[in-house]
Amino acid sequence: MQKKNILVIITLLATTVLLPAQIIITNATFPAAGDSLKTATDLAPTVNGLTAPGGPQTWDFTSLNPSTRQVTVFQPAANGSAFTSFPGAELVTISGVGAETYYDVSASAFSILGLTGSGLGGGLLDGIALKYAPPLPERRAPTAFFDINQAESNASIAISSAAIPGGILDSLGIPSGLFDSIRLRINVKRLEVVDGFGTLAIPGGIYDVLREKRTDFTSTAVDVHTFLGWVDIGSIIGGQLPGFGTDTTITNHFLSNTTKEPIAIVTVDPTQSFATQVEYKDLGITSAVSPVTDENNQVVVSPNPVSNEAIFDLKNIPSGKYNLRLFDANGQNVLSKELGSDRETISLQSLSSGVYIYQIVDRRNKITAMGKVMKVNP
């Protein structure tokens, strides 16, 4: 099935003309010790990015709103309490509940070695290291349009039956007293296809990106250890345990070569019809769209693209004092100017070539209108 999927994807990609605007992701974007990656997650997104393969494309995710915010701090692996279980690790992240994830970093891959810590498995897995063999790549370098990669990794954890409350086993339909240990097996098969490129706008910034479609097939199973050795529990109870089996997860990763956070990771439903959640780079802006009070508010920028000066013409916007703000591809505010009239000429001569997001902000610091302007240097 995977081979058939790859052939279909290659056929689709072959119809796309390779253009020089594409970026290449290097290992400079791999996290390093001391990095703090800031992300937000929208749990009710109205975007999905599920466009056809190819490029250049433009994706507008500026309507995202943070349901939660996260800061992931990467530390030297030796700072982790389970470092001796992962001797090849370079980095570790430690969650607020004490779960630790260990990473291997090479010139070509940033990979998960495994995890351990308190709170895992409802406390049943405290102090037990879950190790992936081989390590599971999370990022690769270089990454370019047309890249196709596959990965497979396995992990298992064995637990003494004495450490498992009998009520848990009974609820799963596992007969207690017939075995001395239980083993959880995990198999991950991953297909990665870089099938699109273009520009992606999120609240506060716009980036050149590659889109990587990632499909994970995660299979979980339970074995019990009897006098016959390890036996799949399904052969004993006559079927599969509820909640176990194979799950398919599809995500679209929008990657930039200028930032260590993915610009966006879109998780979609099994039919690939809509997004169930979007994790994105947190630039500290709640939403670039939701504060707009009137959909008829318009700003006409001419010329656009612009090389020196651009005229910002405010249409259907109530009279009052407004400020113009301009943000570059990294979300940095590169220009702020008070507008004295509904039509003003603004010099952009000092700016580098690229795509910028502009905002028209009223005296209450409320975004009244926004859009994009492209700067080209002669």
> Minimal CA–CA distance to 278: which of 291, 263, 290, 288?
263
Structural domain of 333? 298-375
**Co-location of 202 and 333 in the same domain:** no
**Residue 341 CB neighbours (<10 A):** 9
The last residue of a domain, from among 254, 281, 308:
281
pLDDT value at residue 238: 55
Task: Note whether residue 336 is domain-resident.
Answer: yes
For residue 206, is it within any domain?
A: yes
What is the distance of C-alpha 106 from the center of its chain?
21
Same domain, 72 and 109: yes
Q: Is residue 288 part of a domain?
A: no
Does residue 171 lie in a domain region? yes
60 occurs within a structural domain = yes
Distant-in-sequence contacts of 237-242, Cβ < 8 A, 24+ apart: 237/173, 237/174, 237/175, 241/172, 241/173, 241/174, 242/172
C-alpha distances in angstroms, 139 versus 70, 121, 135, 254, 255? 19, 26, 12, 12, 10
Name, in order, each residue with C-beta under 8 angstroms of 228's C-beta and a sequence gap of 6 or more: none
Whether residues 371 and 239 share a domain: the answer is: no
Assess if residue 289 is contained within a domain: no
Residues 73, 98 within the same domain: yes
Asked whether residue 307 is domain-assigned, the answer is yes
Query: CATH no. for residue 337?
Result: 2.60.40.10
Q: Please, are residues 333 and 325 in contact by the beta-carbon 8 Å criterion?
A: yes
Which of 252, 281, 310 delimits the end of a domain? 281
Q: How many domains does the chain have?
A: 2
Domain match, 115 and 206 both:
yes
Question: Which is more confidently placed, 121 or 134?
Answer: 134
User: Tens of pLDDT along 198-216?
Assistant: 889 898 888 899 999 999 9
Same domain membership, residue 186 and residue 106: yes
Query: How crowded is residue 106: how many other Cβ atoms within 10 Å of its Cβ?
Result: 13
For residue 144, the model assigns a pLDDT of 96
Looking at 281, 313, 339, the residue that finishes a domain is 281
Q: Are 230 and 360 in the same domain?
A: no
pTM over 0.85: no
> Is 205 found in the same domain as 114?
yes
The reply to whether 315 and 209 lie within a common domain is no
The answer to the question of residue 35 being in a domain is yes
Is residue 76 located within the same domain as residue 160?
yes
Q: How far apart are CA 135 and CA 154, in angstroms?
A: 9
Compute the distance between CA of residue 146 and CA of residue 45 in angstroms, rounded to an integer.
28
User: 212 with 338, same domain?
Assistant: no
Per the prediction, the chain carries an average pLDDT of 82
Instruction: Please tell me the predicted confidence (pLDDT) of residue 236.
Output: 60
Pick 135 or 339 by higher pLDDT: 135
With pLDDT > 90 as the criterion, what percentage of the chain qualifies? 37
Report which listed range, 193-197, 233-237, 308-312, is most confident: 193-197
325 and 360 part of one domain: yes
